[in-house]
Chains A and B, each alone.
Chain A
Amino acid sequence: MKAAVKKTIEKYGSDKYRLMDVLIEIQQENGYISKEAIAQIAEEYGMSEVDVEQTVSFYHFLSQKPTGKYSIYLNNSAVANMMGRADVAATFQKELGIKFGDVTPDGRAGLFETSCIGMNDQEPAAIINNHIFTRLTPFRVKEICRDIKEGKEVSEMFVQDWGDGENRSDLVHSVVSNNIRKIGPVLERTFKVGQAIEKITKMKPEEVIDEVKKSNMRGRGGAGFPTGLKWEFCRNAAGEKKYIFCNADEGEPGTFKDRVILTERPRLLFEGMVIAGYAVGATEGIVYVRYEYKYLEKHLEDILQKAREVNYLGKNILGKEGFDFDIRIQFGAGAYVCGEESALIESAEGKRGEPRDRPPFPVEKGYHDMPTVVNNVETLCSVVKVILNGGDWYKSLGTHESTGTKLLSISGDCKFPGVYEVVWGFSVNDILDMVGANKEDVMAVQVGGPSGAIITTNEFNRILGYEDLATGGSLIIIGKQRDILNDIVLNFMDFFISESCGSCSTCRIVPTLMRNKLNKILNARGVRQDLDDLHEWGKILKASRCGLGQTAGNPILSSLKNFPDLYEEKIQKNKTFDSGFDLNIAVKESAKATGRIPNV
């Protein structure tokens, strides 16, 4: 064990900033990270044990207890529930004889909940030892559990055919489907690798930035910051080294477009990073990929290696003196908040994924305190097309405020869930037609994931774009058969509660209080004051440090605004006060201990 840990540390250059890689590797080797391993890592890096532990305990996929020879992580997103997760979950528990969070007594299998794994268009889905299982049914779960009991390799458990496209390739072999339903300029297949790199070698870095600025492109992660401007800030910032980060940590429940790009268009993405590197004067690129997509690792590494062989990466790229750029992949370990750019950088430095205070912004002080650009996967892909076709061409697509195209991840109650590339400016109605949703049956659409807004039918004429309905691309269609408060809002609140980094007081405390209040209302104990409280408490969250905290109340605030009737019909009309206190529940524990039956 000791030798193995030492070897892993040395593999990553005995550099404590690579702690994440070391921890992930030990976790994979042993199924957990032992006290001894933590002590050894601390010793090697000259850190205290508690300091190593604070990183370990932050991430969902790092564990200090054994997680079983087979570690099963079943997604618990709202859409998974809509697609029949309850039966799947029950079957897992029954077949394995354990509850969620437990490991079988023989240490064979562990069963855990996990936040959205980016498979919303093929739920219910689970990750077992980094292999993805999609479209699970109770029958399929029984087969899997039987295979587990027989000790089959996970890679041999698949009986379905592989998914489409690269999912079939030897280096991926997954049952995941791309579900690409509509192709536009970013996803189109005629792209010739290296063309854009060739082109920029004849341009000055400033000209590259000008072209991107001309396109009016805005970041595709959701915040919508102008890409060209970000690059210019970074280029002009002082620093001996600069970095390009690709944010491939899409964790917003309902988003999965980046998974499809990583599967089908990684060359395009890497080319975008090379362009960004050239433009800002960076020599190193890091793709921060969420742990859930670990199954794509070999595929991505292979493409990077091939790019190095033809000098699209490396030193003096395509013969241009001083044009050096290489890319490495950094995996996360399960934390939604790491999608926030400064948290992502912290995580890539081997620390807890806690957002930094701004200013300074990453473009001034980012990775290793050097100027750093963090761009979304889709942004970097779009940049390549801007370089090839020009900023004016790009600007001609979409609307005035929102130029170009947007990849949408569409899931929920519709015929054709999947990824759609559309120009900006479509209405929600158009989208519903496109995805085969029967409008008669649609009650609501969740735009932009839990941190976004839930909108009603009378807002379906609103336009997708930064000027109206901004979105990182996730659209969840909610049919009339759903119970919005129980199925969607409560699930989203639980998501934010478990994904908070916990370092700022507002985001650590308020969402729990709001969720409890929602539960009180759902338990028919609510009064009007509770609705007013939810409004007021939600405002406190605006003082949180990062976007996660600031939007953590949105599931409640947005449904309260757009579906007030759902709340109104659940509160008590004849009461102005209800403490929500239940004596039976309060004395349950002591009654049990003393063997008494509460006489209330």
Chain B
Amino acid sequence: MSQFVRFTIDGTECMAAKGQYIVEAAKENGVYIPTLCNFPGVKPKGGCRICTIRVNGRLMTACTTPVAEDMSIENEVKDIRELRKSIVELLMVEGNHFCPACEKSGQCELQALAYRFQIMAPRFPYQFPVRKIDASHPKIMKDQNRCIQCKRCIRAIKDEKGRNIFAYRKRSSSVEVVVDVKLGKQLTDELAQKAMDVCPVGSILVKEKGFVIPIGERKYDNMPIGSDIENMQVSKI
């Protein structure tokens, strides 16, 4: 039997299984903590920093920190909200994100978060980087303009031998997620689809599959990101 711990989020008493990541524990208590690089079932890597919370006075990432007894977590407070909004804006200006022309519009988590944070225009200057589109693989396209370097595909997509199909190249602001030349060619339909689904933005697209779900019927078109968790019925302690 798993042990339970008590903790608070913004003063509200919560309960969850010990050792659970805070982002999951919060979810079970009906509290949405925005995430971007996190993906269910994939080992977390606090990369995007958007799930930053304050635990007992220290900034931590909710996707990588296990919940513990008596934790006092700050989530919906002004400076953290500002920080998260800033991160969405930073990612927007770092790449080239033109939502109206993007196949992932309406299913894009970055776009959905921008709506959630009511971003009209980023306060940071656009960087307009010159980036490439890699369409050399038979099944997928990798559009570097839209990549937010979240590493979801790197962590989630492996071939049958457990080898990485996606990986980082270079470092600092030159870092990019690239596809293995050989393994990219052997990608199965199933893995290609999984790669597209795992990508929070429109950087990985299965060729000729961009508009299977029509615009207007997409995931976030009618249901803002996080609202499913926030509207969840939680049995209070």
Contacts and interface: CB of A to CB of B under 8 A. Distances in A.
Interface of A: 46-51, 53-54, 57-58, 335, 352, 357, 359, 497-506, 508-510, 512-513, 516, 537, 539-540, 542-545, 580
Nearest to B84: A543
A50 B165 contact: yes
A48 B164 contact: yes
A497 B164 contact: no
B49 A544 contact: yes
Closest 7 CB pairs of A and B: A502-B175, A50-B180, A357-B64, A54-B167, A48-B163, A50-B167, A500-B172
Chain A binding site: helix, strand, loop or mixed by DSSP? helix
B90 A47 contact: no
A270 B28 CA distance: 50
Contacts of A51: 163-164, 167, 180
B124 interface: yes
Contacts of A510: 90
Interface string B165-176: 111111111110
B173 A497 contact: yes
A306 to B, nearest CB: 38
B15 interface: no
Interface in B172-192: 172-175, 178-183
A513 B149 contact: no
Given A49-B181, A50-B178, A498 B172 contact: yes
B48 interface: yes
A499 B172 CA distance: 6
A542 B161 CA distance: 39
A540 B50 CA distance: 11
Contact of B173 (A512, A539, A542, A580): A512
Given A50-B165, A502-B149, 5 more contacts: A359-B65, A503-B168, A509-B94, A516-B125, A540-B87
28 contacts: A46-B161, A48-B167, A49-B182, A50-B181, A53-B167, A57-B171, A357-B45, A357-B61, A357-B65, A359-B66, A502-B172, A502-B174, A504-B49, A505-B48, A505-B148, A506-B90, A508-B94, A508-B175, A509-B90, A509-B91, A510-B90, A512-B127, A513-B93, A539-B83, A540-B83, A540-B86, A540-B90, A545-B47
B148 to A, nearest CB: 7
B226 interface: no
Contacts of A539: 83
Contacts of A503: 45, 47, 149, 151, 168, 175
B234 interface: no
A505 B149 contact: yes
A543 B83 contact: yes
A335 B174 CA distance: 15
Contacts of B127: 512
B90 A543 contact: no
A502 B168 contact: yes
B159 interface: yes
A576 to B, nearest CB: 16
B226 to A, nearest CB: 19
Given A503-B149, A505-B48, A509-B90, A54 B172 contact: no
B31 to A, nearest CB: 19
Given A48-B183, A503-B149, A505-B148, A54 B87 contact: no
Contacts of B83: 539-540, 543
Contacts of B91: 505, 509
A58 B159 CA distance: 23
Interface of B: 44-50, 52, 59, 61, 64-66, 83, 86-87, 90-91, 93-94, 124-125, 127, 148-149, 151, 159, 161, 163-175, 178-183
Given A503-B151, A510-B90, A540-B90, A48 B172 contact: no
A57 B178 CA distance: 12
B158 to A, nearest CB: 9
Nearest to A513: B124
Nearest to A337: B171
Contacts of A497: 172-173
Contacts of B151: 503
B165 to A, nearest CB: 7
B173 A500 contact: yes
Contacts of A335: 171
A46 B159 CA distance: 11
Q: Which has the most chain B C-beta neighbours within 10 Å: A50, A357, A512, A545?
A: A50
A502 B161 contact: no
Nearest to B179: A50
Nearest to B48: A505
Contacts of A357: 44-46, 61, 64-65
Q: Which has the most chain B C-beta neighbours within 10 Å: A51, A499, A503?
A: A503
Contacts of B124: 513, 537
B154 to A, nearest CB: 9
Nearest to B154: A54
B47 A504 contact: yes
B57 to A, nearest CB: 12
Nearest to A579: B125
Contact of B159 (A48, A499, A505, A543): A48
B46 to A, nearest CB: 5
A47 B180 CA distance: 11
A518 to B, nearest CB: 13
Nearest to B184: A50
Contacts of B59: 542-543
Contacts of B168: 54, 57-58, 352, 502-503
B179 to A, nearest CB: 7
A199 B175 CA distance: 50
Nearest to A51: B164
Q: Which has the most chain A C-beta neighbours within 10 Å: B49, B52, B127, B172?
A: B172
Nearest to A498: B172
A47 B94 CA distance: 31
B87 A508 contact: no
A511 B166 CA distance: 26
A543 B174 CA distance: 21
Contacts of A57: 168-171
Contacts of B45: 357, 503
Contacts of A513: 90, 93, 124-125
A497 B171 CA distance: 10
Contact of B164 (A47, A543, A580): A47
Nearest to B168: A54
Q: Which has the most chain B C-beta neighbours within 10 Å: A58, A498, A504, A516?
A: A504
Contacts of A505: 47-50, 87, 90-91, 94, 148-149
Contacts of B44: 357
A506 B149 CA distance: 12
A468 to B, nearest CB: 22
A26 B216 CA distance: 54
Nearest to B162: A46
A48 B149 contact: no
A375 B10 CA distance: 37
B153 to A, nearest CB: 11
Contact of A58 (B86, B163, B170): B170
Contacts of B94: 505, 508-509
A50 B183 contact: yes
Contacts of B180: 48-51
B56 to A, nearest CB: 13
A497 to B, nearest CB: 6
